[in-house]
Amino acid sequence: MPSPLRFHFDFSSPYGYLASERIEALAARHGRAVDWRPMLLGAVFKIAGTQPLTSVPLKGDYTRRDLPRSARFHGIEFRMPSTFPIATQAPARIVVWQRSVDPGGCAAIVRALYRAYFVENRDISNADVAADAAATTGVSRDGARAAIDDPAIKDALRRDVDAAIAAGVFGSPFVFVDDEPFWGLDRFEQIDRWLAQGGF
């Protein structure tokens, strides 16, 4: 059984959202599953001395134009949220909790949370909003809400983020195919060829 594609993403990352809508089909084409790894880019920004794309002079204006264009190019519904960026501990912890209960449910939860933010313009940094969005997939609303304040889940997310950074993750989306790192939706074609040919 080949290892799953490890998909690192931040819930506040628009390109992470676009990639989340494509990663499952890409993995499935090659008989792979997806290991959903929410992370907190804020921790990376501190280490790398970088900042959210939209805050960088010049780059910010371009990004606000590139995002809806890239969404149209890939045929993905997208609307820039009115509050951006946001803290993403709440949705990230829900995914960490779901992974501990039933990893198979993560894909639907990630999609529901990401769409709540990048399609429905709902502020998923709010614990109740995040729990409501997760509950639309059929999981327990109370379970999801409780996970956000659960010290064990908080610790697990913190360990995940540290491990991701130690592995070299500095942006979102970031995918590992076995040990090979790929940054960005822009690298999905390289991933496709890498999986088909076993490297190149």
Binding region for a copy of itself (CB under 8 A) = 44, 47-50, 56-59, 61-62, 65-66, 69-70, 72-73, 165, 168-171, 181, 183-184, 186-187, 189-190, 193, 200
Strands 34-38 and 5-9: parallel
Q: What is the DSSP letter of 23?
A: H
Q: Which is nearer to a copy of itself, 1 or 65 (CB)?
A: 65
One-letter amino acid for residue 5 of the chain: L
Shortest reach from residue 35's CB to a copy of itself, in Å: 19
Give min distance, CB of 9 to a copy of itself, in A. Answer: 16
Q: Measured from the CB atom, is 65 or 102 closer to a copy of itself?
A: 65
User: Which CB sits closer to a copy of itself, 53 or 148?
Assistant: 53
Torsional sign, CA 134, 140, 143, 145: positive
Closer residue to a copy of itself in complex, CB, 71/109: 71
Nearest approach, Cβ of 163 to a copy of itself (angstroms)? 14
d(CA 6, CA 133): 23
CB atoms within 10 A of CB 60: 13
Handedness of CA 108, 112, 118, 119 (dihedral sign): positive
- Closer to a copy of itself by Cβ: residue 50 or 136: 50
Tokens 């008989």, residue? 31
CB of 159 to a copy of itself, least distance (A): 18
